[in-house]
Amino acid sequence: MKIAVIGTGYVGSVTGACFAEMGNTVICVDKDPNKIAQFESGRAPLHEKGLDELVLRSLKNKTLSFTTDFEDALKKSDIIFIAVGTPPNEDGSADLSHVLGVASDLGRFMDHEIIVVDKSTVPVGTAQQVSDKIAEQLKSRGVDIPFHVVSNPEFLAQGTAVKDFLEPSRIVVGSDNRKAVETMRELYAPFTRREGRFFSMDAKTAEIVKYASNCFLAVKISASNELANICSKAGADYENVRKAMGADPRIGEAFLYASAGFGGSCFPKDVKALVKTAGDFGYDALMLKQTLDTNEKQKLVLVRMVAEKFGNDLSGKTFGVWGLAFKAGTDDMRESPAITIINALIEQGASIRAHDPEAMKMARTSEYFGDNPSITYYEDKYEALTDADAMLVITEWKEFRTPDFDRIRKALKQPVIFDGRLLYEPKKMSGLGLEYHSIGR
């Protein structure tokens, strides 16, 4: 099939590369010529496991190309995926300006029948807005060209997005047009060889599926963190509580791990958006609001632990931080707990020695820490601990799971570890001469 993907962020680039891998002819479109040039060189301008290999292979096979020429890509394609950003507005609603801008351009330039697919995460009613915007432009041109708008939410986790796309847990397609649904079924057939993974429904229902999924997982994370905090107060071990709870098939073990809170481009944004959508329909989503509140408080749990050990005035103190990305497997720092934790420590007078396998370049941008003189970055994780008063683990990178604890103890000024991901065993840490503080234990 002939496909155009508008937007080359995490979702757009993975979508385009994976469809091209299956032999479709895919054109990825972006306004940023620098991003296009980097993709054309075979290296994605973002860190996502397996993406570079797919891009290189598909470029070689001539099934994938990149361009800034929207109109040319549209003329050569029959299925158009909209995969542009939908950042949150101040009131929590999704900013649809980019999505509707693409829809308007489609109406201005389309010259043949197309299927328009909303791949961006969008609120209920967006498919209709996209349809109206396209129809408006066609009317102003005085032409009548058939088109069909489909809602097809993505369920990709950063760090495993390529695997998630190639081996999907489900494909959700929202449309009342039978031809469009069957085209989408055929497009996704190589990914859904097993039965029961393709779900067809109306567009509004499909639009809410993505929000419902992410909100439910966010609620589960916040509930787990709340239970872990209770365990801390009661003197119980949340790790054992988690394991016993997870054995119940009604609960399951996924997303029960205690942490310093969730972040990223999806969970915080999507919970806020569903709260706003609920309010627009006259419903007060109290539990979802509480989930957001609990998560913001959770980001400060490690800071409170540090204050209990060193006091509120951290002037002259230095902390070695392992992990800046919001999760392992990505360089994305959007809403990362590390931002809240590091800023809070600096506000109390501390200096930071930071290491992350992928996110340090991102951290140095003006969007995050910029050239903050209180933060120094190190390529070597042990060097980041040299003469630090304590070590903080914020991101669960695999390379942090079994480090050389002897090197850690010798590097630190004081052998103190604050673990925001429960990577280590308290008894082992004590036996190694390390003072160990973790969430829920």
Query: What residues does 377 pair with on adjacent strands?
Result: 354
Q: Which of 18, 28, 231, 266 is catalytic?
A: 266
Residue 195 has pLDDT above 80, yes or no: no
Q: What would the two tokens of residue 305 be?
A: 């632990």
At residue 265, the pLDDT reads 84
Contact criterion met (CB below 8 Å) for 28 and 8? yes
Give the number of residues written for the chain: 441
Q: Which of 84, 47, 324 is nearest to 160 (CA)?
A: 47
The question of whether 231 is a catalytic residue gets the answer no
* pLDDT tens-digit series, residues 154-170: 999 988 999 999 999 99
Predicted TM-score of the model (pTM): 0.89
Residue whose tokens read 């385009």? 16
* pLDDT tens-digit series, residues 219-269: 999 999 999 999 999 999 999 999 999 999 999 999 999 999 999 988 999
Task: Give the mean pLDDT of the chain.
Answer: 96
Q: Taking the CB of residue 197, how many other CB atoms lie within 10 A of it?
A: 15
At residue 193, the pLDDT reads 83
CA dihedral of 250, 254, 255, 259, whole degrees rounded to 10 = 130
Exposure class string for 63-83: b at 16+ Cβ within 10 A, else e: bbbbbeebeebbeebebbbbb
At residue 88, the pLDDT reads 87
* pLDDT tens-digit series, residues 374-421: 999 999 999 999 999 999 999 999 999 999 999 999 999 999 999 999
